[in-house]
Structure 1
Amino acid sequence: MAYEVNGKTIEIDKNGYLLNVDDWNEEVAKVIAAQEGIEELTQRHWDVINYLRDEYLNNAGKQPNMRNIVKVMQNTWDDKQVNAKSLYELFPKSPDKEGSKVAGLPESRRKGGY
């Protein structure tokens, strides 16, 4: 399985996650998002995507759970009304998992909890 982006083949696993995080760029994100049914990536999408990538790439492979994403986005957007529902409006299948997929990160192996 693979995504085709600007004439380049991007290899993915059986669930649609990139096999190589270095294959990711904004064009790849747009293709993955479209595949997931997300028609347009807004600034709020990019804020979540960039946060997830930063945590994974610069924090020893950390993949934040929903609770952490909500807290960070409340501060990023200076909006204390941000909650899980707000994030599900951006990534309907699961903000942490679908967001990570669009961000070009591996599938989370986290097992719930905090």
Structure 2
Amino acid sequence: MKLRTLVLLSIIIGFLLAAISPIFDSDVIKDAEQLNHHELGLPFPFLVQHTTLTPMEDAFPFELGMLDPREHPSSIIPFSYFLNGLFYSGTVCLILWIANRVYIIIRR
């Protein structure tokens, strides 16, 4: 596989992985202020969900994942999303490059 193809494929896969990372993230909520601005994303939080939930006083701390974006308005921090995309793209590129080298060595 050519290096140019490998990098392009890595960028596409990396930014897709960054986009779905909030689904697999959860956060420990310790107070009502943190509940109102719930941040998700791996490894850097980039999705902020603005919730209107009002839990009982003794409910804290609790773990909260991604909520339905139709009911809870969400916003994206573009720079953090870009950093996540670069992180995942670099990781995928390294994995694909190593797999390509192993394939070339085995094929000989």
* TM-score (normalised: structure 1): 0.23
Indicate the structure (1 or 2) with the bigger Cα radius of gyration: 2
Q: Determine which structure has the larger strand proportion and give its number.
A: 2
Q: Determine which structure has the larger helix proportion and give its number.
A: 2
* TM-score (normalised: structure 2): 0.24
